[in-house]
Amino acid sequence: MKSVLLIGLGRFGFHVAESLHRLGHEVMAVDSLEDKVNAVLPFVTGAKIGDSTSEAFLESLGARNFDVCFVTIGNDFQASLETTALLKEMGAKLVVARASREIQAKLLKRIGADEIVYPEKQLAHWTAVRFTSDHIQDFTELDSEHAMFEVFVPEQWVGRTLGTTDLRKKHQINMLAYRRNGKLMYNFGPEYVFKTEEAILVLGSHKDLHNVFRF
pLDDT value, residue 168: 87
What is the value of pTM for the model shown? 0.70
The rounded distance, in Å, linking the Cα atoms of 75 and 124 is 19
Q: Can you give the residue ranges of every domain in the chain?
A: 3-117, 123-213
* Predicted pLDDT at 9: 96
Would you report the helix, strand and coil content of the chain in percent, each value rounded to 5? 40, 25, 35
Burial string for 175-186 (b: 16+ CB within 10 Å, else e) reads: bebbbeeeeeee
43 strand-pairing partners: none
Q: Do 180 and 196 contact (CB within 8 A), yes or no?
A: no
Is-contact 53 82, C-beta < 8 A?
Answer: yes
CATH topology of domain 3-117: Rossmann fold (3.40.50)
Residues 6+ apart with CB under 8 A from 148: 139, 140, 142, 176, 201, 202, 203
Pairwise CA distance, residues 206 & 210, whole Å: 6
CATH number for the segment(s) 123-213: 3.30.70.1450
pLDDT in tens, the chain (215 residues): 899 999 999 999 999 999 999 999 999 999 999 999 999 999 999 999 999 999 999 999 999 999 999 999 988 999 999 999 999 999 999 999 999 888 999 999 999 999 999 887 777 766 776 766 767 788 787 877 888 989 888 888 999 999 998 888 888 999 999 998 888 899 888 999 999 888 999 999 988 888 887 75
